[in-house]
Amino acid sequence: MVFFPLSRKRTHQHTSFTHSKLCFTHFYYQYVFIPDRFGSKSRKMKKIITSILMCTALVMSAQHMGNFNSKVADMDISRANIATSMGNGAAYGNQYAQQYVNLQPSNVLQIKLRSLYNVDATDYTAVFNIVQVGKTAEETTKLMNDKIEIVKKDLKSNGFQGQFSLDMISFVPQYEIEVTKKLFSKTYTEVPVGFELQQNLLISYKKDSDFQKILTACGKAEVYNLVKVDYYVKNLEAIYENLQNKLLEEVSKKKAYYEKLGFKMEDYNVMMADKKYYHTPKDFYKSYLAAENISMESLKNQKNVTSVRKPTSYYYDPIPYNGYDIVVNAAITKPVIQLGMDLSLQYNLKPIEKKPEPKPAPVKTPDPKVYVVSPNGPIDIKQIPNN
């Protein structure tokens, strides 16, 4: 009896390969247990199934990718309880596949540089959404204020130095249908039964460790809806200036390299383009599903298999460094703000200047003179007019 082992841990993906794995499991079950059920008459069928399984194994052997879901670019995730777009994460997801490109020599010189700066946030703002209902407007407002005061007092008692602010979202009455029965009809009337107040509580802090204190305080006040966490950094101008200086150093190295290759940079005209970008961690959270296959023992004993909920795992996947010439603070141990600058320079040969042709020499005007010699010896010079 030949066994084809199956990996128990694999990614839960809705692809054609997923369905082929299920079919493979079914073939495996039939292959192993057909002799036990039908005896020696199944040997011919067993050989056929063996051939099918060997071909199938060859096709599927290169598909293992671990627990990472290759379709995370289609999923939405933020560092919050609400679903938001992955922002720039999708744009950076699969564009760094290593591909060999044939080099084409050219007399046009190009310098393309990319720089990335990983910087820790200097300020954070956590946004919590609070919804409170009550029978009257006064009761609703009081319950909302009580929750917020619980959060503030708990944090201040633990030495929290952050700032608090409120963002008013809505304050509306709630209605229900009241049915009034009459002799021959029913009347449905909307009557107010209470009020709903919705506010966002914004908590600003500077230390990443304060976030745990905030979660604990909000949990005591039954405030659980974390909308998002915003990251901020000071001195952006200084950081971008640092990147500019590093880019200029790289440009100087490239130009020196071209000079050694025999190119005179003063013979070229230059054109340039540049851009800046600023990415926060919430743009680069991704997700995957870690799934377990069903037990083969359950199939053998023909037991019912109960599927369980497979939790979604999230992780921070920053911009990869492939294709970057400059990376500052490359080693990171927590989510960071990623600032970048790209620079593109193109050098084209200057057109050859044609030397002006020499002008012809001006024609000299004739100046005829007549020399008259008298018999006595004196010489008399006479000027003849040109006309």
Tell me the CATH number at 160: 3.30.70.2970
The structure's pTM equals 0.60
Residue 377 lies in a domain: no
pLDDT at site 273: 95
Residue 49 lies in a domain: yes
pLDDT digits (tens, 9 = 90+) for 270-279: 999 999 999 9
Domain boundary among 210, 232, 254: 232
Q: Examine the pLDDT at 75 and tell me if it is beyond 60.
A: no
Q: Examine the pLDDT at 290 and tell me if it is beyond 80.
A: no
CA distance 178 to 188: 6
35 vs 111, residue with greater confidence:
111
Residue 343 lies in a domain: no
pLDDT digits (tens, 9 = 90+) for 110-153: 999 999 999 999 999 999 999 999 999 999 999 999 999 999 99
Mean pLDDT of 275-300: 77
Mean pLDDT of 315-326: 92
CA distance 34 to 45: 9
Give the burial string for 235-273 (b: 16+ CB within 10 Å, else e).
eeeebbebbeebbeebeeebbeeeeeeebeeeebeeeee
Domain boundary among 232, 248, 270: 232
- Phi/psi for 67 (5° steps) reads -85, -10
Under the banding of pLDDT at 50, 70 and 90, the label for residue 83 is very low
CA distance 72 to 90: 9
pLDDT digits (tens, 9 = 90+) for 63-74: 333 444 444 444
β-partners of residue 200 are 129, 167
Residue 150 lies in a domain: yes
Q: By C-alpha distance, which of 55, 4, 59, 7 is closest to 32?
A: 4
pLDDT at site 47: 61
Residue 353 lies in a domain: no
Range of the domain at 1: 1-66
Mean pLDDT of 195-221: 93
Q: Examine the pLDDT at 285 and tell me if it is beyond 60.
A: yes
pLDDT at site 208: 86
Cβ(243)–Cβ(168) below 8 Å: no
CA dihedral sign, ordered 235, 128, 221, 212: negative
Q: Please, what is the average pLDDT of the chain?
A: 76
Domain boundary among 204, 232, 260: 232
Q: How many domains does the chain have?
A: 2
Give the burial string for 80-115 (b: 16+ CB within 10 Å, else e).
beeeeebbbbbebbeeeeeeeeeeeeeeebebebbb
Residue 41 lies in a domain: yes
Q: What percent of the chain has pLDDT over 90?
A: 42
384 vs 209, residue with greater confidence:
209
Residue 92 lies in a domain: no
CA distance 270 to 347: 4
Say whether both 53 and 133 belong to one domain: no
Under the banding of pLDDT at 50, 70 and 90, the label for residue 103 is confident
- At 382, the amino acid letter reads K
Say whether both 61 and 147 belong to one domain: no
Q: What percent of the chain has pLDDT over 70?
A: 64
73 vs 349, residue with greater confidence:
349
SS (H, E, C) 125-174: EEEEEEEEEECCHHHHHHHHHHHHHHHHHHHHHCCCCCEEEEEEEEEEEE
Say whether both 62 and 129 belong to one domain: no
